[in-house]
Amino acid sequence: MIKKDIFIGMLVGLIANSVGLLLTATILGQGDDFTTVIKAATNEGFLGKLISLGAVLNLIVFFIFIKKRQDYRARGVLLITIFIAVFTFVFNLF
């Protein structure tokens, strides 16, 4: 049961981050489509920053799980957020 809740939290955190990335690319993309914005971000070196901005939705999901007292799901969201932070740190190094 605990592992299942952590996995659900990780899945929800990953989906929230993906939706956040999509929203961020749409808002900051000045009307361009998603793939054009991602390609431009990769070429100009700020893809990591876009991914980090997309992780803001994880904060909302995390607090929803905390408020509902679903601590293990909140833990899963936190794990995904830490993974994304490490990924963007490593991505920016290379």
Task: Give the pLDDT confidence of 25-41 residue by residue, as tens digits.
Answer: 888 888 778 888 889 88
pLDDT for 4 equals 95
Percent of the chain with pLDDT over 90: 53
- Can you give the pTM of this predicted structure? 0.86
pLDDT for 26 equals 87
Q: Which pair of structure tokens corresponds to residue 40?
A: 């431009």
Segments of the chain with pLDDT less than 70: none
Q: What angle do CA 46, 12, 30 make, to 5 degrees?
A: 35
Coil, strand, or helix at residue 39? helix
Domain locations along the chain: 2-93
Place of tokens 């999509």: 22
